[in-house]
């Protein structure tokens, strides 16, 4: 048995997770400026297990077009370089066996358009996820009504609240995607 509040709270929590995941995915999408978010989740094979780069090194952006990676363990430099080279970023790391520098080249118009399309793809995936959460919440409400846990009026109210949540979170997705697309397109 579930109440309107329980159904809506669960749906809202799941939608929040979707927004958070979208934010994480968008951190990894390049803009014209250096951003440690591009590399912090790259997995480095470290002592036999894939470890996020941000756990192995201090990441900083000393210049607008450069990321500086200072490994905590100097023996991991080769593994970090290899992980960056095999990542989909397409960047070439420069190492002096103490630190690794990543120079972020300016994006061409064509690259910007591709990245903008990727942002739109990620945003659409998030919207689909939110709609699936709405569908699940509505099924939950239908089941609760069938089990006599919700009245017909409560059922209708629950579906309205879930729809309001859906609109709110789809708006957040659009806002986040537009902001990221603007970052990519600006010089």
Residue 1 has pLDDT above 60, yes or no: no
Confidence of residue 172 (pLDDT cuts 50, 70, 90): very high
User: Residue 68, exposed/middle/buried by CB under 10 A (0-12, 13-18, 19+)?
Assistant: middle
Mean pLDDT of 39-61: 87
If asked whether residues 153 and 139 sit together in one domain, one would say: yes
Question: Comparing 3-12, 18-27, 32-41, which segment has the lowest mean pLDDT?
Answer: 32-41
If asked whether residues 86 and 135 sit together in one domain, one would say: no
- Number of independent structural domains in the chain: 2
* Domain final position from 61, 79, 103: 103
User: Angle at CA 108, nearest 5°, toward 105 and 111?
Assistant: 100
Domain span at 59 = 36-103
Q: Say which CATH number the domain at 53 has.
A: 3.30.1360.40
Mean pLDDT of 122-149: 93
Confidence of residue 133 (pLDDT cuts 50, 70, 90): very high
Question: Comparing 1-5, 23-27, 81-85, 108-112, which segment has the lowest mean pLDDT?
Answer: 1-5
Percent of the chain whose pLDDT exceeds 70: 98
Cα gap 66→68, rounded to integer Å: 6
Cα gap 73→80, rounded to integer Å: 11
If asked whether residues 142 and 92 sit together in one domain, one would say: no
If asked whether residues 122 and 87 sit together in one domain, one would say: no
If asked whether residues 40 and 20 sit together in one domain, one would say: no
Count of CB atoms situated within 10 Å of the CB of 13: 11
Centroid of chain to Cα 118 = 12
Q: Say which CATH number the domain at 174 has.
A: 1.10.132.20
What pLDDT shows up at residue 37? 80
**Partners of 57 in the β-ladder:** 71
* Domain final position from 103, 133, 160: 103
Helix (H) or strand (E) holding 45, with range, is strand 43-46
* Domain final position from 103, 127, 153: 103
If asked whether residues 127 and 168 sit together in one domain, one would say: yes
Residue 10 has pLDDT above 60, yes or no: yes
pTM for the full predicted model = 0.72
If asked whether residues 114 and 180 sit together in one domain, one would say: yes
Count of CB atoms situated within 10 Å of the CB of 104: 20
**Partners of 100 in the β-ladder:** 69, 95
What pLDDT shows up at residue 187? 56
User: Angle at CA 43, nearest 5°, toward 38 and 47?
Assistant: 145
If asked whether residues 114 and 23 sit together in one domain, one would say: yes
User: Angle at CA 184, nearest 5°, toward 30 and 67?
Assistant: 35
């Amino acid at each position: 048995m579930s109440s309107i509040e329980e159904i809506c709270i669960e749906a809202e929590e799941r939608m929040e997770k979707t927004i958070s995941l979208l934010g994480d995915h968008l951190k990894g999408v390049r803009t014209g400026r250096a951003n440690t978010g591009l590399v912090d989740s790259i997995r480095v094979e470290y002592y036999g297990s894939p470890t996020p780069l941000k756990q192995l090194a201090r990441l900083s952006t000393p210049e607008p077009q450069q990321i500086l990676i200072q490994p905590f363990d100097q023996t991991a430099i080769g593994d970090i370089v290899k992980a960056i080279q095999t990542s989909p970023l397409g960047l070439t790391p420069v190492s002096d066996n103490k630190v690794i520098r990543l120079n972020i080249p300016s994006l061409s118009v064509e690259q910007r358009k591709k990245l903008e399309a990727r942002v739109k793809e990620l945003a659409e995936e998030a919207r689909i996820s939110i709609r699936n959460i709405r569908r699940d919440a509505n099924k939950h409400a239908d089941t609760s009504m069938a089990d006599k846990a919700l009245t017909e009026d409560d059922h209708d109210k629950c579906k309205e609240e879930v729809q309001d949540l859906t609109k709110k979170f789809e708006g957040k997705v659009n806002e986040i995607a537009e902001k990221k697309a603007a970052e990519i397109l600006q010089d």
